[in-house]
Structure 1
Amino acid sequence: MSEQLKPLNPNYVTDFFSVNRWMLRCAGLWRPNTSNQTIQKLYTIYAITVFLFVNVWFTFTEFISLFYTYKNQYELIKNVNFFLTHFMGAVKVVFWYFYGHDLIEIMKALEDQRLQYEDYRFYQPGRISHKYKKIGIKYSLLFLLLAHATLLSSYIPPMITAIQYTWYCGSSCTENITKSLPARLPYYSWMPFSYDKGPNYLLAMSYQAGPMISYAYSIVGMDTMYMNIMNCVAGNLMIIQGAFLVLRERCLNRIGENITEHDLIILENDKVLPEMKRELMKIMRHLQVTYGACQNLENIHRYVTLCQVTATLFILCTCLFLVSSAPPLSKQFIAESVYMAAMFFQLFLYCWFGNEVTLKFEEIPRYIWESNWLATDKTFKKNMIFTMMRARRPVYFTAGKFSPLTLPTFVSIIKTSYSIFALIKNSSD
Structure 2
Amino acid sequence: MGLKFIRKFTENLEDPNHPLMGPVISSLNLAGMWKPDNKIKVTIIQVFAALSLVTEFIELWYLRSDMGSAMRNLSTTTLSLTCVVKSGTFVLWQKDWRQVIDYASSLEREQIEKNDRVTNKIIKKYTKYSRSLMYFYWCVSFGTVLAMLIAPLVMYMSSSEQRELIRNGSLPYPEIISSWVPFDKTRGYGYTAILVIQVCMCLYGGLTVASYDSNAVVLMTFFFGQLEILKENCKRLFDEERSSVERIRECHYHHVELIKYAKIFNNVLSPVLFLYIVICSLMICTSAIQITKEGTTTMQQLWIAEYLGALITQLFLYCWHSNQVYYMSLTVSEGVYFSHWYAHGVRMRRNVILLSGQLNKCIAFSAGPFSNLNISTFVAILKGSYSYYTFLKQK
Q: Place the TM-score, normalised by the shorter chain, in its bin.
A: 0.7 to 0.9
Write the mapping of 1:268-417 to structure 2, written as runs, cut at 5 A.
275-325=243-293, 330-417=298-385
> Which blocks of at least 5 consecutive residues in structure 2 are unaligned?
1-15
Please list the CA deviations of residues 10-51 of structure 1 after superposition, one character each: whole Å capped at 9, or x if unmatched: xx9952112321222222112479xxxxxxxxxx8xx62211
Equivalent position amino acid for 1:425 in 2: K
Write the mapping of 1:10-409 to structure 2, written as runs, cut at 5 A.
14-31=18-35, 48-54=43-49, 56-111=50-105, 112=107, 113-115=109-111, 118=114, 124-159=118-153, 175-178=167-170, 182=173, 184-197=174-187, 201-249=191-239, 252=240, 254=241, 275-325=243-293, 330-409=298-377
Q: Could you tell me which residue of structure 2 aligns to residue 40 of structure 1? A: none
Equivalent position amino acid for 1:22 in 2: S
1:188 Cα deviation (Å)?
1.1
Q: Could you tell me which residue of structure 1 aligns to residue 4 of structure 2? A: none
- Give the structure-1-normalised TM-score: 0.78
Greater Rg by CA: 1
- Give the structure-2-normalised TM-score: 0.85
Q: % of aligned pairs identical?
A: 20
Please list the CA deviations of residues 350-406 of structure 1 after superposition, one character each: whole Å capped at 9, or x if unmatched: 211110111111111211111223223333221222222333344311112311111
- CA 1:305–1:175: 2 relative to 1, 3 Å: closer
Equivalent position amino acid for 1:124 in 2: V
The answer as to 2:395 corresponding to 1:421 is no
Q: Could you tell me which residue of structure 2 aligns to residue 38 of structure 1? A: none
- CA 1:161–1:201: 2 relative to 1, 3 Å: farther
User: Does the Cα contact within 8 Å between 1:195 and 1:204 map onto a contact in 2?
Assistant: yes
> Which blocks of at least 5 consecutive residues in structure 1 are unaligned?
1-11, 34-43, 255-271
User: Does the Cα contact within 8 Å between 2:274 and 2:367 map onto a contact in 1?
Assistant: yes
Q: Could you tell me which residue of structure 1 aligns to residue 10 of structure 2? A: none
User: Does the Cα contact within 8 Å between 1:93 and 1:218 map onto a contact in 2?
Assistant: yes
Q: Could you tell me which residue of structure 1 aligns to residue 9 of structure 2? A: none
Query: Pairwise CA RMSD of aligned residues?
Result: 2.8
Whole-Å separation in 1 of the counterparts to 2:350 and 2:288? 55
Please list the CA deviations of residues 111-166 of structure 1 after superposition, one character each: whole Å capped at 9, or x if unmatched: 3234558566xx5221211221222222222222122222222322423676999x
User: Does the Cα contact within 8 Å between 1:348 and 1:410 map onto a contact in 2?
Assistant: yes
- CA 1:376–1:22: 2 relative to 1, 3 Å: same
How many aligned positions are there?
A: 370
- CA 1:195–1:343: 2 relative to 1, 3 Å: same
- CA 1:199–1:178: 2 relative to 1, 3 Å: farther
Whole-Å separation in 1 of the counterparts to 2:355 and 2:387? 44
Please list the CA deviations of residues 49-71 of structure 1 after superposition, one character each: whole Å capped at 9, or x if unmatched: 211211x2111111111122111
Q: Which moves more between the two structures, 201-210 or 326-335?
A: 326-335
- CA 1:161–1:197: 2 relative to 1, 3 Å: farther
- CA 1:205–1:219: 2 relative to 1, 3 Å: same
Whole-Å separation in 2 of the counterparts to 1:116 and 1:15? 9
- CA 1:349–1:293: 2 relative to 1, 3 Å: same
